[in-house]
């Protein structure tokens, strides 16, 4: 079942909507959208606000302070890049501004994962174009 799968780590396709996020990450800033009308922070990126229906928003830098909301460790069968590194931990973190992000933690062993643990955004350069937002202990 591995024969047809991509060998490398999948990368984001950057679109007109999401480009500011990736540009900010490259510059080692975490930015999410904030509604111009009701002030709600949101992630993932959208054109309109689910809270007030406004389509006006501004990409806004956030503190990067977060806590671990949930996590798993995934086992094969997996895409080859992750299978070679399994069990592969996945994390969802909640920013202090509210939104949640899927991410990976750095510098935390699997047996140290604890829901609620304090985290801080960090940045991992994958190539010249893509920098991932990851989290370390806060």
Partner 1 sequence: MTGFARDKTAIVGIGTTEYVKNIGRSELETSLEAIHQALDDAALTPAEVDALYKIETPGEDGNSELNVARNLGANNLRAWGGFGYGGGGACAPVVYAAMAVATGMASVAVAFRARNRGSGARPWSKTGARVRDTGAFEAPYGLVSPVQQLALVTRRYMHEYGATSEQFARVSVSQRSNASRNPRAFFRDPITVEDVLSSRMIADPLHLLDCSLETDGACAVVVTSADRARDLKQTPAYIAGASQGMGPRHYMMNGLLYKDDPFDMPSLYAARDVYAAAGMGPEDVDVALFYDVFSPMVLWQLEAYGFCQPGEAGAFVEEGKIDWPDGEIPVNTHGGSLSEAYVHGFNHVLEGVRQIRGTSTCQVEDASVALVAAAAVVPSSALLLRRQA
Closest to partner 1 by CB, 14 vs 20, is 14
Upper half-sphere CA count for residue 134 (Cβ side, 13 Å): 16
Q: Which of residues 104-123 bind partner 1 (CB under 8 A)?
A: 104, 115
Closest to partner 1 by CB, 17 vs 27, is 17
Give dist(CA 106, CA 59) in Å, integer: 26
Among 26, 29, 65, 100, binds partner 1 (CB under 8 A): 100
Among 53, 75, 106, 112, binds partner 1 (CB under 8 A): 75
Among 20, 23, 90, 123, binds partner 1 (CB under 8 A): 90
Structure token pair of residue 17: 């909507």
Closest to partner 1 by CB, 6 vs 56, is 6
- Chain centre to alpha carbon of residue 120: 12
Residue 93 vs residues 19, 26, 78, 113: alpha-carbon distances, Å: 21, 20, 22, 12
Closest to partner 1 by CB, 45 vs 138, is 45
What is the 3 state secondary structure string of 57-100?
EEEEECCCEEEEEEEEEECCCCCHHHHCCCCEEEEEEEECCCCE
Q: Given the rule CB under 8 A, which residues bind partner 1? A: 1, 4-6, 8-15, 18, 43-44, 50, 69-75, 77-79, 81-82, 87-88, 90, 92, 99-104, 115, 126, 130, 132
């Amino acid at each position: 079942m591995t024969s047809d799968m991509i060998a490398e780590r999948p990368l984001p396709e950057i679109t007109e909507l999401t480009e500011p996020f990736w540009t900010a990450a490259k510059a080692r800033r975490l930015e999410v959208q904030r509604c111009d009308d009701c002030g709600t922070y949101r992630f993932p990126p959208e054109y309109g606000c689910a809270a007030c229906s406004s389509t006006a928003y501004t990409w806004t830098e956030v503190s990067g302070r977060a806590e671990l909301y949930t996590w798993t460790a995934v086992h094969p069968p997996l895409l080859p890049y992750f299978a070679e590194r399994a069990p592969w931990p996945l994390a969802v973190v909640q920013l202090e501004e509210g939104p949640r992000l899927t991410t990976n933690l750095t510098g935390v062993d699997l047996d140290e994962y604890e829901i609620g643990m304090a985290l801080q955004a960090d940045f991992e350069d994958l190539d010249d174009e893509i920098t991932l937002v990851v989290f370390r202990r806060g």
